[in-house]
Structure 1
Amino acid sequence: MTTTPYEELRVPVTGGALAALRWPAHEAGAPVVVALHGITANALSWGPVARALAGRVTLIAPDLRGRAASSGLPGPYGIAAHADDVAALAGALCPGQGRVVLAGHSMGAFVATLAAVRHPERFGPLLLVDGGAGFPAPAHLSPDALLSAVIGPAMDRLSMTFPDRAAYRSFWQAHPAFAGAWSAEVDAYIQRDLTGREPLLRSTCRIDAVRADGAGLFTEEVLSAVRNLPAPATLLWAERGLMNEPQGLYDESRLKAAGLRGAGVRTVRIPDVNHYTILTGDTGAGEIAHHLLTDSRPGSATPSPPTV
């Protein structure tokens, strides 16, 4: 399996330039989808979805502020800053497209909901992938402890160094979520995260950005965004969790507690995937591509009844 060719772009935003990848459609006039990655991820996490889309839409995925090729962008960080960056990206790269489909995975789904609320003229239907609907955080945990509890090794690696790229590959291959689910696309995605020189390679993710974004996920502005969307949304949720455990980030009871009934959010359980492979595995990427193609069709903005 090889990675799908893409273009690397830069878009002016506050404080500098935001890096983005674009997988062009094969035909002029095809729909455009803007896709957002998770809290310690980067744009190439959407590579498997780009392959599954097979050139039927133009897919644009930024490296969010403080990650990968956008790691040099200064703060302030936070979900609102990302939302405004994404609006600037859509304005620069999607002129004349009207309201484009907006997708997000994990933290990127929360960015997507807030971007849609703050910039309703930019974005139409939303596809939320294992994120976007929140629930209260335990009050006794510090932001760092909460992040470590939720994302585990993904947070721990931010303070680690690696002697070479093979060591970084081995670190991720040992992650339970990727057992039996490794591919050239996943390898390209995780290698995009590295910076520095051997033997002191490290993640590009700025820990101050991750901390600010993690704290921002539990603000009322962000948590309420999914219930105030100006366009319909679909939330695809993974059956299993971040460490491939049976309990996923969501289940029926958590979705019910999120208060989505009447909010125009349709929820769809994706079996046999975890929080990562819902995006990077063949099954999950295929489901996402299917929903993106459906959402980007003319007339797709008709709200669907929620299923929670």
Structure 2
Amino acid sequence: MTYQTPEGDAAGRPEELTVPVTGGRLAVLRWPATTPDAPVVLAVHGITANALSWGPVARLLAGRVTLIAPDLRGRAASAGLPGPYGIPAHAADVAALAEALGLRDAVLTGHSMGAFVAALTAVRDPARFASVLLVDGGVGFPAPTGLTPDELITAVIGPAMQRLSMTFPDRDAYRAFWQAHPAFAGSWSPSVDAYVQRDLVGHEPELRSSCLIDAVRVDGVGLFAPEVLAAVHRIPLPARLLWAERGLLDEPQGLYDEQRLKAAGLDRERVPAEQVPGTNHYTLLIGEDGAGVVARHLLTAAGLPADRLG
């Protein structure tokens, strides 16, 4: 592995490293624990996100665990990795990351699409993990019929797909774009700003998202593949789902509700599911309250007391 910023620390800027995967090297962020024998959490981001989406959770964990989060291929510092893309490819990358770092009994977690990646990884390679936490993702539904791939992806992720074709004159313009997003109202912080800025590539006045449209297209369609849909029902480890009350645009209907989970056939005894009130799809991970709930569940899963957060 290649260490790029060894000055990383648990509460602030993470270490950056790379690990070998098929086709090249995967970029990874690591917030190290303050003790060498602390538990490890491996965290997977969503379809148009990057590793710094886990920054608010890392800040609250404050070094009690080592938090490791990759940039998935086709995004941010892993944008140069070639295809094939898709949920199985990301699961293979996560397994390769766990092997490269010698992980055993790590807590595996993922947000949104990352939850589907985590579920499939747990099914395919359970020996390296102790438990799984799914954050507003991982439980799927059959694909709507009669839609083109792009229409299907737009139905899943909404205006996030449009953003990938946009350009921005400077970083302030990109910041303003996100601050105007209805899901981010009242939830802006330095950690969120760092996450958003990590996504930008190119040069002024034509900055753009690092997310490759082809990767997002393949990944979005792949969420409806039978193996991916089945993974949450086959996880051989203790697992839990946290789901947001509200949706991607802070609309009242979230990705999940009791009826949708029942329709999906989720076995609530095998995978207990808990709504997190007052959160939307994004703020469940990057908002102060939502990140606190995720951090507490990760600490509990790691066998640590969760009665106080950083």
- TM-score, structure 1 length as denominator? 0.93
Q: In the alignment, which residue of structure 2 is the partner of 1:180?
A: 186
Distance in 1 (alpha carbons) for counterparts of 2:227 and 2:12: 36
Partner of 1:147: 153
Structure-2 change in CA distance of 1:37 and 1:156 (3 Å)? same
CA change 1:262–1:181 in 2 (3 A) is closer
* The one of 268, 278, 285 aligned to 1:279: 285
| Pick aligned residue for 1:213 from 213, 216, 219 | 219
Of the candidates 123, 126, 135, which is equivalent to residue 132 of structure 2? 126
Matched, 1:237 2:243: yes
Give the partner amino acid of 1:122: R
1:4-153 superposed matches below 5 A: 4-93=12-101, 95=102, 97-153=103-159
Equivalent-residue separation in structure 2 for 1:262 and 1:154 (angstroms):
31
- Structure 1 residues 13-58: Cα deviation after superposition (integer angstroms, max 9, x where no partner): 0000000000000111000000000000000000000011111000
Which moves more between the two structures, 254-263 or 215-224? Answer: 254-263
Post-superposition shift, 1:151? Answer: 1.7
Cα offset for 1:155? 1.0
- The answer (yes or no) to whether the contact 1:228–1:263 under 8 Å persists in 2 is no
Q: Distance in 2 between matches of 1:45 and 1:143?
A: 26
8 A contact 1:181–1:281 mirrored in 2: yes
Counterpart of 2:142 in structure 1: which amino acid? P
Identity within the alignment, %: 71
More displaced 10-residue stretch of structure 1: 133-142 or 45-54: 133-142
Distance 2:137 2:85 in 1: 19
Is 1:196 equivalent to 2:220 in the alignment?
no
Task: State the shift of 1:246 in Å.
Answer: 0.4
2:152–2:221 Cα contact (<8 Å) kept: no
Q: Deviations over 1:148-190 (max 9, x none)?
A: 2232221111111111111111111111101111111111101
Deviations 1:113-144 (A, max 9, x none): 00011111122200000000011221122221
Instruction: Report the counterpart of residue 301 of structure 1 in structure 2.
Output: none
How much has 1:262 moved relative to structure 2?
A: 6.0
Q: Which moved more, 1:275-284 or 1:289-298?
A: 289-298
Aligned residues: 294
Which amino acid is 2:149 matched to?
P
Cα deviation code 1:60-113 (max 9, x no counterpart): 0000010000000000000000000000101112x2x42311000000000000
Q: Residues 268 and 164 from structure 1, CA distance in 2 versus in 1: closer, same or farther, beyond 3 angstroms? A: same
Gaps of 5+ in 1: 299-308
Q: Which runs of 5 or more residues in structure 2 are unaligned?
A: 1-10, 305-310
Scaled by the length of structure 2, the TM-score of the pair is 0.93
What amino acid is aligned across from residue 262 of structure 2 in structure 1? Answer: K
Find the aligned partners of 1:262 and 1:268 in 2 and give their Cα distance.
10
Shift of 1:263: 6.2
Which amino acid in structure 2 is aligned with residue 251 of structure 1?
A: D
- Superposition misfits of 4+ residues, deviation over 4 angstroms: none
Q: Assess if the C-alpha contact under 8 Å between 1:226 and 1:263 holds in 2.
A: no
Match of 2:4 in 1: none
- Provide the aligned C-alpha RMSD in A: 1.2
> d(CA) in 1 for partners of 2:186 and 2:297?
25
Does the CA-based 8 Å contact 1:40-1:210 persist in structure 2?
yes
Question: Any idea what SS the aligned residue of 1:265 has?
Answer: coil
Question: Any idea what the Cα deviations from partners look like across 1:183-205, whole Å, max 9, x if unmatched?
Answer: 11111101000000001111100
Task: Assess if the C-alpha contact under 8 Å between 1:5 and 1:23 holds in 2.
Answer: yes
Given that 1:240 and 1:273 are in contact with CA atoms closer than 8 Å, whether structure 2 keeps it comes out as yes
Contact 2:156 / 2:220 at 8 angstroms: preserved in 1? no
Q: Residue 145 of structure 1: SS of its match in structure 2?
A: helix
